[in-house]
Chain A
Amino acid sequence: MIAELLNSTALPIILVGAMVGIASSAVGTFLVLRGNSMLSDAISHSIVFGIVIVWILTKQQSGPVQLIGAALTGLLTVFLTEALANTKRVKQDAAIGLVFPALFSIGVLLLNIYAHDVHIDTHTVLLGEIGFVWLDTVELFGLPIPQALVSMSVMTLINYAFIGLFYKELKLATFDPALAKTFGFMPTILFYVLLMLTSSTAVAAFDAVGAVLFIAFAIVPASAAYLLTDRLWMMFVIGALISIASSISGYFLAVHFNVSIGGMMAVMTGVFLILAFLFGPRYGLMTQVLKRRRARQAPVEPPATM
């Protein structure tokens, strides 16, 4: 039964999509809360540089070496951005806008040079090949499991293990960095580890959804969750649920219209965000409008009905 399901193409693709969403939104939640969402943009672009460099050095396109390389590239991106901003000659946002296009350009040029003997082309960089994840499988427990599903599951586990272990520290460092520092929680180091995990997740998700769509999976479910709840743990739950729902609906819509599966999944996360923005129970646009109208009518009604 399970083997049959895994042999079909739909289930592996949906599972990989959901896993990409769950792993990315876990780290994305902290980026959204800290106001560093655009770092996911910078990291997802500059890991192209990291992937090409690691490939040139080790001839490995995936696996643990690439994940470590990605983590280092992510650190390099953030380090260069901070170094530029610390000169006080350019602002933080301009520094981000200078660093990642430069790294991305070097990556693309290296791809140009080594184009004839490397499998990663600019097309894959942008779109990913989630439709083909079921082609590349490994044998686990006697079942053919897609390679991408294994790597995404491992990334999800690592991300949630880190969040679980340092939940209290991360929470305080996110909402009150000054207090976290006085407690000796080292918020800066926590943040850097978080960014390394973001980069590694981006590389693991890279084959499936490409560089740019990763931003959607990291930021959009987390943003939608932020519009729906005030509790940190709820944000992870909602983020994961939106990822799963987007993966399922995105897959079937994409198959129906014969379009990019990864792209459609990302679009679906956006649909859920718009829904949360419009109809969220506490912060939604409709709720606010209704609340305002009720407040305007309130003095006319007797207070007993309130």
Chain B
Amino acid sequence: MSWLDLLTDYTFQNVVIGASLLGLISGPLGCFAVLRRQSLLGDAISHAALPGICLSFIITGSRDIGGIMIGALVTGSLAALLMLLLTRKSRLKTDAGLGVCLSLFFAVGIVLLTYIQGTSNASQGGLEAFLFGQAAATLRSDLWVMGGVTLVTLSLLAAFWKQAKLVTFDAEYARTLGMPTTAIEATLTAMVALAVVVGLQMVGVILMAAMIVAPAAAARQWSRHLGSMLAIAAGVGIVSGVSGATISTLSRGLATGPLIVLTATIIVLLSLALAPNRGLLWGIVKHYRQKAELQKRQLLYTLYKHPTRPATRRSTLSARLTLARLKRQGYLIRSQGEAGWGLTATGQAKARQVVATFEEVAP
């Protein structure tokens, strides 16, 4: 399939638009979840969407995406509520609450799924595909629903942006200001459920957790400001969605959801390594720079204090490299004397500085 054919392909267009919508909603909402240390709540909510999908199918008898999204939203929110109830009213900790809700709601979903299969309804085929997503089956009408949900959610977020920001970073302070913090936190959680609902069609309930966490984790590396973090997360979400969908279409037969998730994971790894200031690679570079600088000073110090001691005999590779670098910088010249190396005039001046700082520190 050539690129031109691909771009005009109806299914491919739908998949790309759907994947972009998913990135657009899951990135920004994921940021709040990750910053509030609720990354795994997205996982629990997405697993808990399964019974909702099945219930909606049992009630309406069709795979209409509107009904399925409402069902998923209801059970997803119920799971989040049950989690809160269990952790607030019993001695179970958050992790156990999450694990309990996730596995129990999923188990109910499996039971309902097999119940539907037992009734052998003709249109039930493909309901199982919600587990892993079925990007290729996306219809234009589905996209309108997904787009609508995305638009409403993002507008809502924009409307109470200030409150959401304060509750995320300093809930105590927000409470002293008289803000309804519990309501705002509940809304932010419900909005994660909305993001999950949009992702059902594309990546399925099991991998949705990654779409909440990965774009946000990548964006956090590039930005220190909430606004730009949200924008970058949305960008990462869209890029991974579109590239995952494209690879899946080109490869024929590789599932879209896992490909989207893997693309997002690769972006996270690149961000961790390369992001300015926070990037791990820069840390390593900085470490070696400092090491080289220290070695340079030590050499200058030694040559200044002991000009007759030979410097090259039994020297290590890194010492040789440092000597060569100092020569290039004009501090050293090869001399015929016993040392083999001598300080130039600028080298003398630099060495005096170094000696002064060394002896100031350790007299």
Residues of chain A whose beta carbon lies under 8 Å from any beta carbon of chain B: 32, 35-38, 40-41, 45, 84, 87, 89-91, 93-94, 96-98, 101-102, 104-106, 108-109, 112-113, 115, 122-123, 126-127, 212-213, 215-216, 219-220, 223, 226-227, 254, 257-260, 262-264, 266-267, 269-270, 273, 277, 283, 285, 288
A259 and B272 contacting across the interface, CB-CB below 8 Å: no
The answer, yes or no, to whether B278 is at the interface (CB within 8 Å) is: yes
A38 and B207 contacting across the interface, CB-CB below 8 Å: no
Interface of A is mostly: helix
Known contacts A89-B278, A277-B86: A213-B111 contact under CB 8 Å = no
One of B37-45, B149-157, B301-309 contacting the partner: B37-45
The residue that B210 contacts in the complex, of A91, A101, A258, with Cβ under 8 A, is A101
Q: Which residue of B lies closest to A115 (CB)?
A: B253
Residues of chain B whose beta carbon lies under 8 Å from any beta carbon of chain A: 34, 37-40, 42-43, 47, 86, 89-93, 95-96, 98-100, 102-104, 106-115, 118, 128, 131-132, 206-207, 209-210, 212-214, 216-217, 220-221, 253-255, 257-259, 261-262, 265, 268, 272, 278, 280
Cβ distance A258 to chain B, nearest Cβ, rounded Å? 4
B99 and A215 contacting across the interface, CB-CB below 8 Å: yes
Known contacts A89-B280, A122-B131: A98-B118 contact under CB 8 Å = no
The residue that B107 contacts in the complex, of A98, A105, A216, with Cβ under 8 A, is A216
Known contacts A91-B39, A108-B255, A122-B132: A267-B111 contact under CB 8 Å = yes
* Bound CA–CA A283/B210 (angstroms): 35
Cβ distance A254 to chain B, nearest Cβ, rounded Å? 8
Q: Can you list 30 pairs linking A and B with CB atoms under 8 Å apart?
A: A35-B96, A38-B95, A38-B99, A84-B272, A89-B220, A91-B37, A93-B38, A94-B34, A97-B209, A97-B213, A98-B268, A101-B214, A104-B206, A109-B254, A112-B254, A113-B254, A123-B128, A127-B110, A212-B47, A213-B107, A220-B103, A223-B100, A259-B114, A259-B115, A260-B110, A260-B113, A263-B113, A263-B114, A266-B103, A267-B108
Count A-B pairs with CB separation below 8 Å: 200
B259 and A263 contacting across the interface, CB-CB below 8 Å: no
Q: Which of B47, B99, B217 has the most CB of A within 10 A?
A: B99
Chain A residues, Cβ within 8 Å of B42: 97
* Bound CA–CA A38/B93 (angstroms): 11
B114 and A260 contacting across the interface, CB-CB below 8 Å: yes
Known contacts A37-B95, A122-B132: A93-B37 contact under CB 8 Å = yes
* Bound CA–CA A277/B85 (angstroms): 10
The residue that A262 contacts in the complex, of B86, B110, B206, with Cβ under 8 A, is B110
B39 and A94 contacting across the interface, CB-CB below 8 Å: yes
Known contacts A89-B280, A105-B207, A126-B131: A41-B262 contact under CB 8 Å = no
A41 and B213 contacting across the interface, CB-CB below 8 Å: no
Known contacts A101-B207, A112-B254: A266-B107 contact under CB 8 Å = yes
* Bound CA–CA A296/B36 (angstroms): 37
* Bound CA–CA A115/B89 (angstroms): 46
Chain A residues, Cβ within 8 Å of B257: 105, 108
Cβ distance B92 to chain A, nearest Cβ, rounded Å? 6
Known contacts A101-B261, A106-B262: A93-B39 contact under CB 8 Å = yes
* Bound CA–CA A266/B100 (angstroms): 10
